[in-house]
Amino acid sequence: DVFSEFPPRLAQHRNDYAGKTVVSFCTGGIRCEKAAIHMKAIGIEHVYQLEGGILKYFEETGGAHYQGDCFVFDAREAVSADLHPKSGRLHR
């Protein structure tokens, strides 16, 4: 699956989101912003996104209210809420 598949799949399920609140979040904030734009463009009204993604949230809050690790797209593979690399947690 790639992000280019998101708009047509979202359109197929548009009615599932009618009247609901949707929160979009991702690692760095780019894909979730694009997703939120697509949702609003097809008429989903209550769409919010985590500005800057999970990594920005970690920077600003120290990971308050977050459980688990966050997958990242570099050699670290995953980071904890304090932004320290987590090794051996994920396998390719």
pLDDT tens-digit readout, 23-49: 998 888 888 999 999 999 999 999 999
pLDDT grade, residue 63 (50/70/90)? confident
Q: What is the Cα–Cα distance from 65 to 23, expressed in whole angstroms?
A: 16
Copy the structure tokens of residue 20.
Answer: 């609901």
Q: Of 26, 35, 72, 81, which one is the catalytic site residue? A: 26
- Write down the pLDDT at residue 91: 47
Residue 75's contacts (CB-CB under 8 Å, 6 or more residues apart) are none
Q: Is 26 part of the annotated catalytic residue set?
A: yes
For 5-22, the pLDDT digits (tens) are 889 999 999 999 999 999
Torsion sign across C-alpha atoms 79, 32, 73, 88: positive
